[in-house]
């Protein structure tokens, strides 16, 4: 998939005696989006934007060591041993070898002297390329969105397993100028990160998403830069899966910054050489949060963080070293709110930095990236909503830019379930997102043009097969509403070939799948870690069809 950007120049930093000006170059091909203001909370912004950079360049995938040089040396050594063994039998050959080695040593010294300037120049050249082309580390320029209440950055890691979002309310700034709401991509180069490290509280810092770029009418300007990036579908699909997963129900609790520091201290002091490499959260209502680090069996008790939720939980998460991204936030964070979807499922850590918030989203484990971790969009509300209703919901959301489902339902006179179904569809289309920090849906268009949903949404054929089950009349469903809450339990049978499978699931009051089980092989191997199987989907779709009739 190809993304095209046009920037008037590059993001730049201008240092003056009394201050610093940070100017971001927006994408000229998108709707005018701009913002300007002076930083009031310098240190917190510097640490948060630096942590966002750590997410962008993060790549913790296993990289096997390059042993080609060693293998070449070993082969050469074997040959040398063979020659020396033969030389021990023939004295004349040994004498000749000695002479050749002396000559070779002399030639190598002479070659080093002659080629020294070349090697030095080549090293400088590669250093130059490393400094100038590090922009290619960034798979996609970060997305920045300007809303009436805040502006926020979003990014994705190189290994596609970590998601970062930095939200800055307008209290972070002072002397805010004119701004235009919308979403755009910004030119966020690597040298800009080095300039962020120079932000100081005693220096006035001007933050600007430059509006002047949109007044340019010529593409021949020297400062005009065209950027075309070919992205794998998995990158874009992973971004959509993050937004779907954030809206799912989760176990939620808060952690004191010192408790998070203790977690990172354990990870810094120990290196695992065998599995399991997990963190086991043990949550008991009214008691401190306890975390066991495996395989060492080290238990960290969090006396400052008491679990106030319902029920006892024992949840294991993997890929824990990605939490080191939070290290820079510890001195400026007030608290961390943790959202756990379940063992082996994604997790989210929201750092409260006062008027700033930083969200770190982690897939089940590093190698299981967001694109392959699971079809979390299939677990979101999937009620049948007509196109007219969906458009009405998005138009109202675009007017207010952010709103709760209840506010949208009240304004439009619709049922909450219909609004959630429409918002879920827009989230899966990359045009809306769920803000974990403030608990609202926000209008945020990930790309300038509509995404090819048929290509991105389905990495497998499970939903397509579920639809075929319905068309063949192979699904029978029974529904039972809970008398305690608004949840709904579905059970039934699905005929596949000569087998009869028995799926069962539970939907919460917002029509989100919170439990499921099936007798098929896919579910027995993966549970819900990779999303629901086609039989669970067929059961849910059949219930929706029956409910409409």
Say whether 460-548 and 380-455 share the same fold: no
Measured from the Cβ of residue 519, the count of other Cβ atoms closer than 10 Å reads 16
Architecture of domain 380-455: Orthogonal Bundle (1.10)
Considering only residues 322 and 466, tell me which one the structure prediction assigns the higher pLDDT: 322
pLDDT above 50: residue 7: no
**pLDDT given for residue 68 in this prediction:** 76
pLDDT of residue 520: 92
**pLDDT over threshold 80, residue 65:** no
What is d(CA 450, CA 43) in angstroms, rounded to the nearest whole number?
Answer: 38
Mean pLDDT computed over 94-122: 75
What mean pLDDT do residues 123-136 have? 49
**Strands 356-362 vs 402-403: parallel, antiparallel or unpaired:** unpaired
Alpha helices in 430-478 (DSSP H): 453-456, 462-471
pLDDT tens-digit profile of 169-196? 999 988 888 888 888 776 666 667 777 8
Q: Where are the domains of the chain?
A: 74-134, 380-455, 460-548
Q: What is the pLDDT of residue 188?
A: 60
pLDDT in tens, 357-416: 999 999 877 766 665 555 566 566 655 678 888 889 999 999 999 999 999 999 999 888
Give the integer Cα–Cα distance in Å for 341 and 337: 13
d(CA 385, CA 379): 16
Nearest to 27 by CA among 42, 11, 45, 48: 11
Selection from 83-97, 297-311, 353-367 with the highest mean pLDDT: 297-311
Query: What's the CATH class of domain 460-548?
Result: alpha beta
Determine the Cα–Cα distance for residues 503 and 173; give it in Å rounded to an integer.
Answer: 53
Which of the listed ranges 47-61, 84-98, 308-322 does the model predict with the highest average pLDDT? 308-322
**Would you say residue 130 has pLDDT above 50?**
no
The whole-number pLDDT of residue 369 equals 60
- Which pLDDT belongs to residue 89? 63
What's the token pair of residue 199? 């932000």
247-261, 449-463, 495-509: lowest mean pLDDT where?
A: 449-463
* Contact (CB, 8 A) for 421 and 428: no
- The verdict on whether omega for the bond into residue 503 sits within 30 degrees of 0, i.e. cis, is no
Residue 212 has pLDDT above 70, yes or no: no
Give the chain's mean pLDDT. 78
Looking at residue 216, its pLDDT comes to 30
pLDDT-based confidence at 492, cuts 50/70/90?
Answer: very high
User: C-alpha 32: how far from its chain's center?
Assistant: 26
Assess whether pLDDT exceeds 80 at residue 301. Answer: yes
Residue the block writes with tokens 């939490």: 323
Report whether pLDDT(76) > 50: yes
pLDDT at 80: 61
DSSP line for 74-122: HHHHHHHHHHHHHHTT-HHHHHHHHHHHHHHHHHHHHHHHHHHHHHHHH
pLDDT at 19: 66
The answer to which of 217-231, 319-333, 368-382 has the lowest mean pLDDT is: 217-231
Note whether 351 and 164 are within 8 A (CB). Answer: no
Q: How many whole angstroms separate alpha carbon 238 and alpha carbon 398?
A: 24
pLDDT tens per residue across span 521-549: 989 988 887 778 889 988 988 887 776 55
- Taking alpha carbons only, the member of 174, 318, 304, 165 closest to residue 243 is 165
Backbone φ and ψ for 365, nearest 5 degrees, come out as -155, 170
pTM above 0.75? no
**CA distance linking residue 180 with residue 201, whole number of Å:** 27
For the chain, what is the radius of gyration of the CA atoms?
Answer: 28
Q: What is the spatial distance between Cα 501 and Cα 280, in angstroms, rounded to a whole number?
A: 33
pLDDT exceeds 80 at position 28: no
């Amino acid at each position: 998939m190809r993304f095209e950007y046009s920037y008037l120049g590059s993001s730049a930093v201008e240092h003056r005696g009394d201050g610093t000006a940070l100017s971001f170059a927006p994408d000229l091909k998108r709707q005018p989006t701009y913002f300007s203001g002076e930083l009031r909370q310098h240190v917190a912004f510097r640490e948060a934007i630096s942590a966002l950079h750590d997410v962008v360049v993060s790549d913790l995938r296993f990289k096997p060591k390059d042993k080609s040089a060693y293998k070449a040396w070993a082969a050469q050594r074997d040959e040398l041993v063979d020659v020396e063994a033969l030389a021990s039998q023939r004295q004349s050959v040994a004498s000749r070898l000695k002479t050749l080695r002396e000559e070779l040593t002399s030639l190598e010294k002479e070659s080093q002297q002659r080629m020294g300037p070349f090697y030095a120049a080549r090293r400088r050249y590669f250093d130059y390329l490393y400094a100038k082309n590090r922009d290619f580390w960034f798979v996609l320029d970060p997305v920045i969105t300007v809303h009436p209440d805040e502006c926020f950055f979003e990014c994705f890691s190189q290994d596609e397993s970590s998601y970062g979002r930095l939200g800055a309310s307008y209290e972070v700034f002072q002397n805010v100028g004119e701004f235009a709401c919308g979403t755009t991509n910004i030119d966020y180069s690597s040298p800009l990160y080095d300039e962020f490290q120079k932000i100081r509280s005693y220096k006035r810092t001007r933050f600007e998403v430059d509006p002047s770029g949109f007044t340019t009418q010529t593409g021949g300007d020297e400062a005009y830069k065209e950027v075309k990036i070919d992205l794998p579908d998995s990158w874009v699909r992973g971004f959509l899966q993050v937004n779907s997963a954030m809206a799912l129900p989760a176990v939620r609790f808060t952690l004191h910054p010192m408790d998070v520091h203790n977690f990172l201290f354990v990870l810094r002091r120990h290196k695992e050489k065998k599995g399991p490499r997990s963190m086991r959260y043990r949550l008991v209502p009214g008691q401190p949060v306890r975390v066991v680090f495996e395989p060492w069996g080290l238990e960290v008790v969090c006396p400052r963080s008491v679990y106030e939720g319902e029920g006892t939980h024992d949840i294991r998460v993997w890929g824990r070293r990605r939490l080191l991204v939070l290290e820079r936030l510890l001195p400026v964070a007030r608290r961390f709110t943790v959202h756990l979807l379940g063992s082996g499922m994604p997790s989210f850590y929201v750092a409260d930095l006062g008027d700033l918030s930083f969200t770190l989203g982690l897939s089940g484990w590093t190698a299981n990236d967001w694109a392959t971790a699971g079809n979390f969009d299939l677990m979101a509300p999937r009620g049948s909503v007509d196109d007219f209703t969906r458009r009405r919901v998005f138009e109202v959301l675009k007017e207010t830019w952010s709103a709760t489902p209840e506010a949208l339902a009240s304004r439009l006179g619709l049922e909450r379930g219909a609004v959630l179904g429409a918002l879920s569809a827009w989230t899966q289309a990359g045009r809306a997102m769920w803000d974990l920090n403030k608990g609202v849906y926000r209008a945020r268009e990930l790309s300038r043009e509509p995404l090819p949903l048929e290509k991105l949404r389905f990495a497998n054929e499970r939903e397509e097969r579920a639809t075929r089950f319905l068309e063949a009349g192979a699904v029978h469903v029974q529904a039972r509403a809970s008398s305690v809450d608004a949840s709904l339990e579905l059970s039934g049978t699905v005929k596949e070939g000569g087998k009869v499978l028995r799926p069962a699931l539970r939907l919460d009051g917002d029509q989100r799948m919170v439990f499921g089980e099936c007798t098929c092989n896919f579910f027995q191997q993966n549970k819900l870690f990779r999303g629901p199987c086609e039989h669970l989907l067929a059961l849910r779709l059949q219930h929706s069809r029956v409910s409409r009739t």
